[in-house]
Structure 1
Amino acid sequence: MTSAKGKNGSWEWIKALLIAIILAFIIRAFFFTPIVVDGSSMDPTLQDQDRMIVTKIGEPNRFDIVVFHAPDGRDYIRRVIGLPGDRIEYKDDILFINGEAYEEPNLNEYKQKVIDRPLTNSFTLEETPVRSDLVPEGHIFVLGDNRRGSTDSRHIGAIPMEKVVGTTKIVYYPIKEIKIIGK
Protein backbone atom coordinates (compact mmCIF):
# COMPACT_ATOMS: atom_id res chain seq x y z
CA MET A 1 0.00 0.00 0.00
CA THR A 2 1.40 3.42 -1.02
CA SER A 3 1.27 6.24 1.45
CA ALA A 4 -0.20 9.65 0.65
CA LYS A 5 3.17 11.17 1.56
CA GLY A 6 4.88 9.05 -1.13
CA LYS A 7 2.39 10.11 -3.81
CA ASN A 8 2.73 13.79 -2.86
CA GLY A 9 6.52 13.53 -2.92
CA SER A 10 6.47 11.98 -6.40
CA TRP A 11 4.05 14.64 -7.67
CA GLU A 12 6.31 17.41 -6.31
CA TRP A 13 9.31 15.92 -8.17
CA ILE A 14 7.28 15.69 -11.41
CA LYS A 15 6.12 19.32 -11.05
CA ALA A 16 9.67 20.50 -10.38
CA LEU A 17 10.97 18.62 -13.42
CA LEU A 18 8.23 20.03 -15.68
CA ILE A 19 8.91 23.56 -14.46
CA ALA A 20 12.63 23.10 -15.10
CA ILE A 21 11.97 21.86 -18.64
CA ILE A 22 9.60 24.76 -19.39
CA LEU A 23 12.08 27.30 -18.01
CA ALA A 24 14.92 25.79 -20.05
CA PHE A 25 12.79 25.99 -23.20
CA ILE A 26 11.83 29.63 -22.55
CA ILE A 27 15.42 30.65 -21.79
CA ARG A 28 16.75 28.93 -24.91
CA ALA A 29 13.96 30.18 -27.18
CA PHE A 30 13.96 33.80 -26.07
CA PHE A 31 17.19 34.69 -24.27
CA PHE A 32 20.26 32.47 -24.85
CA THR A 33 21.27 29.60 -27.10
CA PRO A 34 24.54 27.77 -27.80
CA ILE A 35 26.23 27.75 -31.20
CA VAL A 36 29.30 26.04 -32.66
CA VAL A 37 31.68 27.97 -34.93
CA ASP A 38 31.86 26.18 -38.28
CA GLY A 39 34.86 27.11 -40.41
CA SER A 40 37.57 29.75 -40.46
CA SER A 41 35.63 32.89 -41.45
CA MET A 42 36.24 34.51 -38.06
CA ASP A 43 39.93 33.54 -37.68
CA PRO A 44 41.91 34.62 -35.74
CA THR A 45 39.20 35.83 -33.32
CA LEU A 46 37.23 32.57 -33.30
CA GLN A 47 38.40 29.09 -34.20
CA ASP A 48 36.57 26.27 -35.96
CA GLN A 49 34.52 24.26 -33.42
CA ASP A 50 34.61 26.94 -30.70
CA ARG A 51 31.37 26.81 -28.73
CA MET A 52 29.68 30.08 -27.87
CA ILE A 53 26.61 31.48 -26.14
CA VAL A 54 24.29 33.63 -28.29
CA THR A 55 22.33 36.37 -26.53
CA LYS A 56 18.98 37.02 -28.19
CA ILE A 57 18.29 40.25 -26.28
CA GLY A 58 18.75 43.70 -27.84
CA GLU A 59 19.90 45.05 -31.18
CA PRO A 60 23.46 44.50 -32.42
CA ASN A 61 25.92 47.38 -32.29
CA ARG A 62 28.79 48.17 -34.60
CA PHE A 63 31.64 45.63 -34.27
CA ASP A 64 29.49 43.15 -32.31
CA ILE A 65 29.75 39.54 -33.43
CA VAL A 66 26.35 38.30 -34.60
CA VAL A 67 24.79 35.01 -35.58
CA PHE A 68 22.31 35.13 -38.46
CA HIS A 69 20.41 32.84 -40.79
CA ALA A 70 22.27 33.01 -44.12
CA PRO A 71 20.63 32.59 -47.53
CA ASP A 72 22.09 29.06 -47.85
CA GLY A 73 20.06 27.96 -44.78
CA ARG A 74 23.02 27.77 -42.39
CA ASP A 75 23.77 30.04 -39.45
CA TYR A 76 26.78 32.32 -39.96
CA ILE A 77 28.88 34.14 -37.37
CA ARG A 78 30.24 37.50 -38.54
CA ARG A 79 31.14 40.98 -37.26
CA VAL A 80 28.77 43.95 -37.71
CA ILE A 81 30.51 46.65 -39.72
CA GLY A 82 27.60 48.73 -40.99
CA LEU A 83 24.31 49.73 -39.39
CA PRO A 84 21.19 50.96 -41.22
CA GLY A 85 21.93 54.20 -43.10
CA ASP A 86 25.73 53.82 -42.94
CA ARG A 87 27.96 54.42 -45.94
CA ILE A 88 30.68 51.72 -45.89
CA GLU A 89 33.91 51.74 -47.89
CA TYR A 90 37.28 50.03 -47.68
CA LYS A 91 40.21 51.83 -49.23
CA ASP A 92 43.84 50.69 -48.92
CA ASP A 93 42.87 48.24 -46.13
CA ILE A 94 41.23 50.99 -44.05
CA LEU A 95 37.55 50.94 -43.06
CA PHE A 96 35.59 54.12 -43.69
CA ILE A 97 32.13 54.55 -42.18
CA ASN A 98 30.24 57.63 -43.33
CA GLY A 99 33.54 59.07 -44.60
CA GLU A 100 35.38 58.61 -41.28
CA ALA A 101 38.30 56.18 -40.92
CA TYR A 102 37.80 53.52 -38.23
CA GLU A 103 40.40 51.41 -36.47
CA GLU A 104 39.76 47.69 -36.21
CA PRO A 105 42.02 46.66 -33.34
CA ASN A 106 40.80 43.07 -33.57
CA LEU A 107 42.57 42.84 -36.97
CA ASN A 108 45.91 44.49 -36.08
CA GLU A 109 47.76 41.26 -35.27
CA TYR A 110 46.31 39.53 -38.34
CA LYS A 111 47.27 42.42 -40.64
CA GLN A 112 50.89 42.20 -39.45
CA LYS A 113 51.03 38.51 -40.43
CA VAL A 114 49.71 39.04 -43.97
CA ILE A 115 51.86 41.81 -45.37
CA ASP A 116 51.97 40.48 -48.95
CA ARG A 117 48.66 42.18 -49.85
CA PRO A 118 45.78 43.93 -48.08
CA LEU A 119 43.74 41.89 -45.62
CA THR A 120 40.58 43.58 -46.89
CA ASN A 121 40.49 44.51 -50.57
CA SER A 122 39.10 47.93 -51.43
CA PHE A 123 35.36 48.14 -52.14
CA THR A 124 32.29 50.33 -51.77
CA LEU A 125 28.78 49.19 -50.89
CA GLU A 126 27.71 49.79 -54.49
CA GLU A 127 30.24 47.14 -55.59
CA THR A 128 28.59 44.51 -53.35
CA PRO A 129 25.18 42.86 -53.69
CA VAL A 130 23.81 45.76 -51.60
CA ARG A 131 24.01 47.84 -54.83
CA SER A 132 23.39 51.06 -52.92
CA ASP A 133 25.58 53.66 -51.30
CA LEU A 134 23.92 53.07 -47.88
CA VAL A 135 23.16 50.03 -45.73
CA PRO A 136 19.38 49.66 -46.18
CA GLU A 137 17.01 50.37 -43.29
CA GLY A 138 16.34 47.26 -41.24
CA HIS A 139 19.63 45.65 -42.35
CA ILE A 140 23.24 45.31 -41.21
CA PHE A 141 26.46 44.87 -43.18
CA VAL A 142 28.72 42.11 -41.81
CA LEU A 143 32.25 40.88 -42.49
CA GLY A 144 34.22 37.90 -41.23
CA ASP A 145 37.48 38.72 -39.46
CA ASN A 146 39.26 36.39 -41.92
CA ARG A 147 38.62 38.87 -44.74
CA ARG A 148 40.37 36.75 -47.35
CA GLY A 149 38.37 33.61 -46.56
CA SER A 150 34.90 34.71 -45.50
CA THR A 151 31.53 34.61 -47.21
CA ASP A 152 29.90 37.76 -45.88
CA SER A 153 27.96 40.85 -46.96
CA ARG A 154 30.45 41.45 -49.79
CA HIS A 155 29.01 38.27 -51.33
CA ILE A 156 25.49 37.82 -49.90
CA GLY A 157 24.45 41.43 -49.34
CA ALA A 158 23.12 43.21 -46.29
CA ILE A 159 21.49 41.03 -43.63
CA PRO A 160 17.86 41.74 -42.69
CA MET A 161 17.47 42.28 -38.94
CA GLU A 162 14.77 39.59 -38.79
CA LYS A 163 17.45 37.05 -39.84
CA VAL A 164 19.71 37.97 -36.90
CA VAL A 165 19.58 35.35 -34.13
CA GLY A 166 21.58 37.44 -31.66
CA THR A 167 25.00 38.61 -30.55
CA THR A 168 27.78 36.51 -29.10
CA LYS A 169 30.81 37.32 -26.96
CA ILE A 170 31.39 34.26 -24.78
CA VAL A 171 33.47 31.27 -25.87
CA TYR A 172 32.83 28.51 -23.33
CA TYR A 173 34.56 25.57 -25.05
CA PRO A 174 37.26 24.36 -25.40
CA ILE A 175 37.83 24.92 -21.70
CA LYS A 176 41.42 26.18 -22.17
CA GLU A 177 40.10 28.80 -24.63
CA ILE A 178 37.28 30.24 -22.48
CA LYS A 179 37.13 33.98 -23.16
CA ILE A 180 34.96 37.03 -23.62
CA ILE A 181 35.41 38.64 -27.02
CA GLY A 182 35.85 42.41 -27.03
CA LYS A 183 35.04 44.75 -29.87
Structure 2
Amino acid sequence: MAKTETTGNAIVETIKTVVYALLIAGVFRTLFFQPFWIPSGSMKQTLLIGDFLFVNKMAYGYSYASCPSVIIPSVGLNIDAQKLCGMFDGDNTRFWGGDPERGDVVVFRHPTTGRDYIKRLIGLPGDKIQVSDGVVQINGEAVPQVADGDFEEVMELQGPQGLRPRCANGAVGEGGICIKERAIETLPNGASYAVLNIGPQASDRTGIYTVPEGHYFFMGDNRDNSADSRLAQTAGGVGFVPYENLIGRADRIVFSSGGRSMLFFWTWRSDRFFKGIK
Protein backbone atom coordinates (compact mmCIF):
# COMPACT_ATOMS: atom_id res chain seq x y z
CA MET A 1 0.00 0.00 0.00
CA ALA A 2 2.80 2.41 0.90
CA LYS A 3 4.43 1.83 -2.48
CA THR A 4 1.14 2.52 -4.31
CA GLU A 5 0.62 5.73 -2.35
CA THR A 6 4.18 6.85 -3.10
CA THR A 7 3.69 6.19 -6.83
CA GLY A 8 0.37 8.05 -6.77
CA ASN A 9 1.92 11.02 -5.01
CA ALA A 10 4.76 11.11 -7.56
CA ILE A 11 2.26 11.23 -10.44
CA VAL A 12 0.29 14.02 -8.77
CA GLU A 13 3.47 16.03 -8.15
CA THR A 14 4.52 15.58 -11.79
CA ILE A 15 1.13 16.82 -12.99
CA LYS A 16 1.38 19.81 -10.64
CA THR A 17 4.86 20.64 -11.95
CA VAL A 18 3.65 20.53 -15.56
CA VAL A 19 0.61 22.69 -14.76
CA TYR A 20 2.72 25.26 -12.89
CA ALA A 21 5.23 25.36 -15.74
CA LEU A 22 2.44 25.96 -18.27
CA LEU A 23 0.93 28.69 -16.11
CA ILE A 24 4.30 30.44 -15.73
CA ALA A 25 4.92 30.16 -19.48
CA GLY A 26 1.43 31.53 -20.19
CA VAL A 27 1.92 34.51 -17.88
CA PHE A 28 5.38 35.20 -19.37
CA ARG A 29 4.00 35.07 -22.91
CA THR A 30 1.00 37.25 -22.07
CA LEU A 31 2.88 39.97 -20.20
CA PHE A 32 6.42 40.13 -21.54
CA PHE A 33 7.52 38.40 -24.74
CA GLN A 34 5.64 36.43 -27.36
CA PRO A 35 7.43 34.10 -29.79
CA PHE A 36 6.79 34.74 -33.48
CA TRP A 37 7.92 32.71 -36.49
CA ILE A 38 8.10 34.53 -39.83
CA PRO A 39 5.92 32.52 -42.25
CA SER A 40 6.05 34.68 -45.40
CA GLY A 41 8.33 37.00 -47.36
CA SER A 42 6.38 40.25 -46.96
CA MET A 43 9.09 41.82 -44.76
CA LYS A 44 12.19 40.85 -46.78
CA GLN A 45 15.03 41.76 -46.46
CA THR A 46 14.47 42.93 -42.88
CA LEU A 47 12.88 39.60 -41.95
CA LEU A 48 13.28 36.35 -43.85
CA ILE A 49 11.04 33.30 -43.92
CA GLY A 50 12.20 31.13 -41.03
CA ASP A 51 13.36 33.95 -38.75
CA PHE A 52 12.29 33.36 -35.15
CA LEU A 53 11.89 36.30 -32.80
CA PHE A 54 10.36 37.39 -29.52
CA VAL A 55 7.88 40.27 -29.59
CA ASN A 56 8.28 42.89 -26.86
CA LYS A 57 4.76 43.13 -25.43
CA MET A 58 5.74 45.75 -22.85
CA ALA A 59 6.49 48.36 -25.55
CA TYR A 60 2.89 49.48 -26.11
CA GLY A 61 1.13 48.27 -22.97
CA TYR A 62 -1.66 45.70 -22.90
CA SER A 63 -5.08 45.09 -24.43
CA TYR A 64 -7.26 42.08 -25.21
CA ALA A 65 -4.87 41.31 -28.10
CA SER A 66 -2.08 40.71 -25.57
CA CYS A 67 -3.72 37.41 -24.67
CA PRO A 68 -2.09 34.66 -26.73
CA SER A 69 -3.96 32.78 -29.45
CA VAL A 70 -3.13 29.09 -29.64
CA ILE A 71 -3.87 27.85 -33.16
CA ILE A 72 -2.63 24.41 -34.25
CA PRO A 73 -4.73 23.34 -37.26
CA SER A 74 -3.11 19.90 -37.48
CA VAL A 75 -4.69 18.89 -34.17
CA GLY A 76 -7.80 21.04 -34.44
CA LEU A 77 -6.72 23.40 -31.67
CA ASN A 78 -8.01 26.95 -32.02
CA ILE A 79 -8.03 28.99 -28.82
CA ASP A 80 -8.38 32.60 -29.90
CA ALA A 81 -7.35 35.66 -27.87
CA GLN A 82 -10.86 36.98 -28.41
CA LYS A 83 -12.28 33.98 -26.57
CA LEU A 84 -9.91 34.42 -23.64
CA CYS A 85 -9.93 38.21 -23.23
CA GLY A 86 -12.82 39.43 -25.36
CA MET A 87 -14.33 41.25 -22.38
CA PHE A 88 -11.60 43.91 -22.82
CA ASP A 89 -12.33 44.42 -26.54
CA GLY A 90 -14.24 47.29 -28.05
CA ASP A 91 -12.97 50.50 -26.44
CA ASN A 92 -9.68 50.75 -28.41
CA THR A 93 -7.66 51.49 -25.29
CA ARG A 94 -4.72 49.82 -23.56
CA PHE A 95 -3.45 49.34 -20.02
CA TRP A 96 -0.17 51.19 -19.40
CA GLY A 97 -0.34 52.11 -23.07
CA GLY A 98 2.64 53.45 -24.97
CA ASP A 99 2.57 55.04 -28.42
CA PRO A 100 4.31 53.22 -31.27
CA GLU A 101 6.79 55.18 -33.37
CA ARG A 102 6.81 55.53 -37.10
CA GLY A 103 9.13 52.88 -38.53
CA ASP A 104 8.58 50.32 -35.75
CA VAL A 105 8.25 46.70 -36.88
CA VAL A 106 5.04 45.67 -35.16
CA VAL A 107 3.12 42.44 -34.60
CA PHE A 108 -0.61 43.08 -34.53
CA ARG A 109 -3.87 41.20 -34.59
CA HIS A 110 -5.68 41.34 -37.94
CA PRO A 111 -8.90 43.35 -37.40
CA THR A 112 -11.16 40.71 -38.99
CA THR A 113 -9.39 37.34 -39.13
CA GLY A 114 -7.69 37.61 -35.73
CA ARG A 115 -4.43 36.18 -37.12
CA ASP A 116 -1.10 37.72 -36.08
CA TYR A 117 0.60 39.87 -38.74
CA ILE A 118 3.97 41.62 -38.76
CA LYS A 119 4.53 44.82 -40.77
CA ARG A 120 6.25 48.19 -40.53
CA LEU A 121 4.37 51.19 -39.12
CA ILE A 122 4.19 53.91 -41.78
CA GLY A 123 1.15 56.06 -40.95
CA LEU A 124 0.10 57.53 -37.61
CA PRO A 125 -3.41 58.71 -36.64
CA GLY A 126 -4.41 61.71 -38.76
CA ASP A 127 -1.76 61.12 -41.45
CA LYS A 128 -2.63 61.21 -45.14
CA ILE A 129 -0.82 58.34 -46.89
CA GLN A 130 -0.50 57.73 -50.61
CA VAL A 131 1.75 55.59 -52.80
CA SER A 132 2.74 57.21 -56.08
CA ASP A 133 4.88 55.23 -58.57
CA GLY A 134 6.11 53.08 -55.71
CA VAL A 135 7.10 56.04 -53.50
CA VAL A 136 5.28 56.58 -50.21
CA GLN A 137 3.83 60.06 -49.65
CA ILE A 138 3.14 61.16 -46.06
CA ASN A 139 1.03 64.31 -45.71
CA GLY A 140 1.95 65.35 -49.23
CA GLU A 141 5.71 64.84 -48.83
CA ALA A 142 7.56 62.04 -50.62
CA VAL A 143 9.48 59.65 -48.36
CA PRO A 144 13.07 59.63 -49.74
CA GLN A 145 14.37 56.44 -51.32
CA VAL A 146 18.02 55.92 -52.31
CA ALA A 147 18.91 53.04 -54.65
CA ASP A 148 21.00 50.40 -52.88
CA GLY A 149 21.75 47.71 -55.45
CA ASP A 150 19.88 44.42 -55.50
CA PHE A 151 18.62 41.84 -53.05
CA GLU A 152 19.47 38.32 -54.21
CA GLU A 153 18.13 34.95 -53.10
CA VAL A 154 18.10 31.42 -54.51
CA MET A 155 14.98 30.29 -56.33
CA GLU A 156 13.87 27.39 -54.14
CA LEU A 157 11.09 26.34 -51.83
CA GLN A 158 11.16 28.47 -48.67
CA GLY A 159 9.86 27.63 -45.20
CA PRO A 160 7.37 24.94 -44.09
CA GLN A 161 4.81 26.19 -46.64
CA GLY A 162 7.23 25.74 -49.53
CA LEU A 163 6.79 29.29 -50.86
CA ARG A 164 8.70 30.47 -53.92
CA PRO A 165 10.02 34.04 -54.17
CA ARG A 166 8.90 36.50 -56.84
CA CYS A 167 11.68 38.02 -58.92
CA ALA A 168 12.30 41.26 -60.77
CA ASN A 169 14.49 39.43 -63.30
CA GLY A 170 11.62 37.39 -64.71
CA ALA A 171 11.19 33.63 -64.67
CA VAL A 172 14.05 32.00 -62.79
CA GLY A 173 14.65 28.26 -62.80
CA GLU A 174 15.17 26.11 -59.72
CA GLY A 175 18.49 27.01 -58.11
CA GLY A 176 18.83 30.24 -60.08
CA ILE A 177 19.35 33.69 -58.58
CA CYS A 178 16.17 35.67 -57.93
CA ILE A 179 16.77 39.43 -57.91
CA LYS A 180 14.76 42.30 -56.45
CA GLU A 181 15.65 45.98 -56.65
CA ARG A 182 16.58 47.42 -53.24
CA ALA A 183 16.37 50.97 -51.90
CA ILE A 184 16.91 52.60 -48.52
CA GLU A 185 13.80 54.43 -47.37
CA THR A 186 13.98 57.10 -44.65
CA LEU A 187 10.87 58.23 -42.76
CA PRO A 188 10.37 61.79 -41.42
CA ASN A 189 11.58 60.74 -37.95
CA GLY A 190 14.86 59.39 -39.36
CA ALA A 191 14.02 55.67 -39.28
CA SER A 192 15.79 54.00 -42.24
CA TYR A 193 15.45 50.49 -43.64
CA ALA A 194 15.65 48.57 -46.92
CA VAL A 195 12.59 48.14 -49.16
CA LEU A 196 12.36 45.80 -52.15
CA ASN A 197 10.72 46.27 -55.54
CA ILE A 198 9.75 43.60 -58.07
CA GLY A 199 8.06 45.69 -60.76
CA PRO A 200 5.10 47.97 -61.51
CA GLN A 201 1.76 46.83 -60.09
CA ALA A 202 -1.52 48.30 -58.87
CA SER A 203 -0.37 48.72 -55.26
CA ASP A 204 2.37 51.13 -56.47
CA ARG A 205 -0.31 53.70 -57.27
CA THR A 206 -3.01 54.32 -54.69
CA GLY A 207 -5.48 56.94 -53.65
CA ILE A 208 -5.05 58.98 -50.46
CA TYR A 209 -5.68 57.15 -47.21
CA THR A 210 -6.56 59.29 -44.19
CA VAL A 211 -5.63 57.32 -41.07
CA PRO A 212 -8.48 57.52 -38.50
CA GLU A 213 -7.89 58.56 -34.92
CA GLY A 214 -6.74 55.61 -32.84
CA HIS A 215 -5.62 53.63 -35.89
CA TYR A 216 -2.38 52.93 -37.78
CA PHE A 217 -1.25 52.29 -41.36
CA PHE A 218 1.18 49.40 -42.00
CA MET A 219 3.22 48.27 -45.00
CA GLY A 220 5.57 45.38 -45.70
CA ASP A 221 9.18 46.13 -46.67
CA ASN A 222 8.84 43.72 -49.62
CA ARG A 223 6.46 46.20 -51.18
CA ASP A 224 5.22 44.16 -54.15
CA ASN A 225 4.62 41.03 -52.09
CA SER A 226 2.71 42.30 -49.07
CA ALA A 227 -0.98 42.32 -48.17
CA ASP A 228 -1.07 45.36 -45.90
CA SER A 229 -2.95 48.60 -45.19
CA ARG A 230 -3.00 49.49 -48.89
CA LEU A 231 -5.74 46.88 -49.26
CA ALA A 232 -9.03 46.95 -47.36
CA GLN A 233 -9.79 44.05 -45.06
CA THR A 234 -12.56 42.94 -47.42
CA ALA A 235 -10.01 42.73 -50.27
CA GLY A 236 -7.52 40.54 -48.41
CA GLY A 237 -5.49 43.32 -46.81
CA VAL A 238 -5.40 44.62 -43.26
CA GLY A 239 -6.77 48.15 -43.74
CA PHE A 240 -6.39 50.51 -40.80
CA VAL A 241 -5.34 48.73 -37.60
CA PRO A 242 -6.88 49.82 -34.25
CA TYR A 243 -4.57 50.76 -31.38
CA GLU A 244 -5.94 47.92 -29.23
CA ASN A 245 -4.94 45.36 -31.89
CA LEU A 246 -1.21 46.01 -31.44
CA ILE A 247 0.56 43.09 -29.77
CA GLY A 248 4.12 44.34 -29.50
CA ARG A 249 7.32 45.51 -31.15
CA ALA A 250 9.80 43.18 -32.86
CA ASP A 251 13.27 44.16 -31.66
CA ARG A 252 15.61 41.24 -32.32
CA ILE A 253 15.83 37.98 -34.27
CA VAL A 254 16.77 35.14 -31.93
CA PHE A 255 17.14 32.25 -34.36
CA SER A 256 16.83 31.67 -38.11
CA SER A 257 16.40 28.62 -40.29
CA GLY A 258 16.24 28.68 -44.08
CA GLY A 259 14.89 25.13 -44.49
CA ARG A 260 11.51 23.43 -44.41
CA SER A 261 12.02 22.60 -40.73
CA MET A 262 13.96 24.21 -37.90
CA LEU A 263 15.39 20.74 -37.20
CA PHE A 264 17.39 20.87 -40.44
CA PHE A 265 20.49 22.27 -38.74
CA TRP A 266 22.40 22.57 -42.03
CA THR A 267 19.92 25.30 -43.08
CA TRP A 268 20.42 27.44 -39.95
CA ARG A 269 21.48 31.04 -40.66
CA SER A 270 23.96 31.66 -37.84
CA ASP A 271 24.68 35.18 -39.13
CA ARG A 272 21.10 36.15 -38.20
CA PHE A 273 21.15 34.80 -34.64
CA PHE A 274 20.45 37.66 -32.15
CA LYS A 275 20.39 40.19 -34.97
CA GLY A 276 18.72 43.53 -34.16
CA ILE A 277 15.69 44.60 -36.21
CA LYS A 278 15.56 48.10 -37.62
The answer on whether the counterparts of 2:125 and 2:212 sit within 8 Å (CA) in structure 1 is: yes
- Residue in 2 that maps onto 1:149: 225
How far the C-alpha of 1:96 sits from its partner, in A, is 1.5
One-letter amino acid matched to 1:149 = N
Gaps of 5+ in 1: 1-15, 127-133
Q: Take 2:41 and 2:25, find their aligned partners in 1: how far apart are those partners? A: 31
Percent of paired sites with the same residue: 38
Q: Aligned pair 1:88/2:129, yes or no?
A: yes
How far the C-alpha of 1:87 sits from its partner, in A, is 0.8
Q: 1:163 aligns with which of 207, 232, 245?
A: 245
One-letter amino acid matched to 1:40 = G
Stretch of structure 1 that moved more, 51-60 or 99-108: 99-108
The answer on whether the counterparts of 1:38 and 1:48 sit within 8 Å (CA) in structure 2 is: yes
How far the C-alpha of 1:138 sits from its partner, in A, is 0.9
- Residue in 1 that maps onto 2:86: none
One-letter amino acid matched to 1:135 = V
How far the C-alpha of 1:88 sits from its partner, in A, is 0.7
TM-score by length of 2: 0.51
Q: Could you say what secondary structure the match of 1:153 adopts? A: coil
How far the C-alpha of 1:41 sits from its partner, in A, is 1.0
TM-score by length of 1: 0.74
Q: Take 2:229 and 2:109, find their aligned partners in 1: how far apart are those partners? A: 13
Q: Could you say what secondary structure the match of 1:27 adopts? A: helix
Q: Take 2:19 and 2:141, find their aligned partners in 1: how far apart are those partners? A: 54
Q: Take 1:172 and 1:138, find their aligned partners in 2: how far apart are those partners? A: 31
How far the C-alpha of 1:148 sits from its partner, in A, is 1.0
- Residue in 2 that maps onto 1:47: 48
How far the C-alpha of 1:83 sits from its partner, in A, is 0.7
How far the C-alpha of 1:25 sits from its partner, in A, is 3.7
Taking the TM superposition and a 5 Å limit, the aligned residue runs for 1:14-25 are: 24-25=25-26
Q: Aligned pair 1:173/2:255, yes or no?
A: yes
Taking the TM superposition and a 5 Å limit, the aligned residue runs for 1:104-143 are: 104=185, 105-107=192-194, 110-111=196-197, 114=198, 116-117=199-200, 121-126=204-209, 134-143=210-219
The answer on whether the counterparts of 1:60 and 1:166 sit within 8 Å (CA) in structure 2 is: no
Taking the TM superposition and a 5 Å limit, the aligned residue runs for 1:51-62 are: 51-57=52-58, 58=60, 59-62=99-102
| More helix by percentage | 1
Q: CA RMSD in A?
A: 2.9
Q: Take 1:125 and 1:53, find their aligned partners in 2: how far apart are those partners? A: 34
The answer on whether the counterparts of 2:203 and 2:230 sit within 8 Å (CA) in structure 1 is: no
How far the C-alpha of 1:53 sits from its partner, in A, is 1.1
**CA deviation map 1:80-130 (0-9, x unaligned):** 01011111112222222112222314235x34xx4x54796021334xxxx
Q: Take 2:37 and 2:202, find their aligned partners in 1: how far apart are those partners? A: 25
The answer on whether the counterparts of 1:93 and 1:119 sit within 8 Å (CA) in structure 2 is: no
Q: Could you say what secondary structure the match of 1:28 adopts? A: helix
Gaps of 5+ in 2: 1-16, 61-98, 145-184, 186-191, 234-238, 257-268
Q: Could you say what secondary structure the match of 1:148 adopts? A: helix
Q: Take 1:38 and 1:20, find their aligned partners in 2: how far apart are those partners? A: 27
